Amino acid sequence: MANTPQAKKRIIRNANRAQINGARMSRIRSFLKKVETAIEGGDKTAATDALKAAQPELARGVARGVLHKNTASRKMSRLSKRVGAL
């Protein structure tokens, strides 16, 4: 258990940040899911539009420190390749 005021404050702050970061990751996953769904449906225009919407979300996740840069890059590359193959 936290003994110092700083440690108590840190526990509260960490809980708040975890909630915010969880919401951010959920939002990113939703955008990626839209791309996946469009790819599975075989709709190239919808998949392309969804991919264009997902790109800034992934970049925002990297900027906010929720995702690693290489992870976002890898996801983007793989999705782009799958959309291009349609």
Domain that holds residue 25: 5-84
Q: Is the pLDDT of residue 20 over 90?
A: yes
54-80 per-position pLDDT tens digit: 999 999 999 999 999 999 999 999 999
d(CA 35, CA 70): 19
Residue 24 CB-half CA count within 13 A? 18
CATH number at 18 reads 1.20.58.110
CA angle, residues 73, 18, 15, in degrees to nearest 5: 165
Core vs surface per residue 45-82: b (16+ CB within 10 A) or e: ebbbebbeebbebbeebeeeebbeeeebeebbeebeee
37-58 per-position pLDDT tens digit: 999 999 999 999 999 999 999 9
